[in-house]
Homo-oligomer: A and B are copies of this chain.
Amino acid sequence: MSVYKHARVLITGGLGFIGSNLARRLVSECAVVTLVDSLIPSYGGNLRNIADIKDRVRVNVSDVRDPFAIEYLVRDQDFLFNLAGQTSHVDSMSNPQVDLDINASAQLSILEACRRVNPGVKLVFASTRQLYGKPDYLPVDEAHPIRPVDVNGINKLAGEWYHLLYNNVHGIQACALRLTNTYGPGMRVKDARQTFLGIWVRRLIEGKPVQIFGDGMQLRDFNYVDDCVDALLMAGASDATNGKVYNLGSAEVVNLRQLAGMLVPLVPGGSLELVPFPPDRKAIDIGDYYGDFGLFSRETGWVPKVDLAEGLKRTVDYYRSEHAHYWDAGT
């Protein structure tokens, strides 16, 4: 998109899964890209994610909880893709204040920094479908009641709303995308902190059975990371998105057993097993979910293009060759 040519773009969580894929695309469009990342080991940042573009981006290792670094970094930026977050639902329950500090408090200080030193910036915030909780109806559209089932959902919602509020009251252009399960090369696969698909891919490549919690009949939708990057860029390029929140999603809805059935054959000898739901996960499980992404499609023209079969293949191929950079065999 020509709007990004020579534009100055800041990405928080820029060494993470989605941030690094977004950076790669922006570099190819000749944007001037700065990545902020805390590189906290239990989060998603990994320098390997930008190995191929490291000479074409500026990396600033800092934490979004550091308001002074943020105030310096947001100056003179044209776009801010605000992707840094604590993503683990289970961690948010065992350490709720850390989740609040990153997903709510730091978001407010990022917006305050924009208000003070760069009110002309356009912000795109990565929110989550998790905040709908257990759906009342399917597909879930943006009018569905909000009902977070964990501390992470509450804090992400606060972070999202600060963005819309600063748009509405302070005139800082901002919108939010409620991402569903995003997957692809660069996702955290060391453990399940970012997506259960991560640990599935790791176990598969390690020759261990993929584990499905419960009966595996829960429906889900998935976006391949390139489609998610398309959505972020289209949201950033459009003035129509200001002050709004949109679902992403996919026309391809599968249950977890079907998903595992597509994934497992991609590695010779792959297998799967059903295991009982761990209690900490069961308490915050939401049953079936898939989203209605019609509003965002109509307003920006976005449609997901990479189907699950292709996306899963690309993902597994990536980690079969790259796994040494994403987990230690000993951990």
A residues touching B (Cβ–Cβ < 8 Å)?
93, 96-97, 100, 104-105, 108-109, 112, 143, 145-146, 148-151, 154-155, 157-158, 161-162, 165, 168-169, 283-284
Contact = CB atoms under 8 A, between A and B. Distances in A.
A108 to B, nearest CB: 5
Given A97-B109, A105-B97, A112-B96, A148 B169 contact: no
DSSP class of A's interface residues: helix, strand, loop or mixed?
A: helix
A309 to B, nearest CB: 37
A165 B145 contact: no
Given A96-B162, A100-B104, A151-B165, 11 more contacts: A100-B108, A143-B145, A148-B165, A149-B168, A149-B169, A150-B165, A151-B162, A154-B158, A154-B161, A155-B158, A169-B284
B158 A104 contact: yes
A162 B154 CA distance: 7
A158 B165 CA distance: 15
Contact of A169 (B105, B108, B112, B283): B283
A93 B169 contact: yes
A105 B93 CA distance: 14
Contacts of A143: 145
17 contacts: A93-B169, A96-B162, A97-B105, A97-B109, A100-B104, A100-B108, A108-B151, A143-B145, A146-B146, A148-B165, A151-B162, A151-B165, A154-B161, A157-B157, A157-B158, A158-B158, A169-B284
Contacts of A151: 108, 162, 165
Contacts of A162: 96, 151, 154
Contacts of A93: 169
A63 B233 CA distance: 44
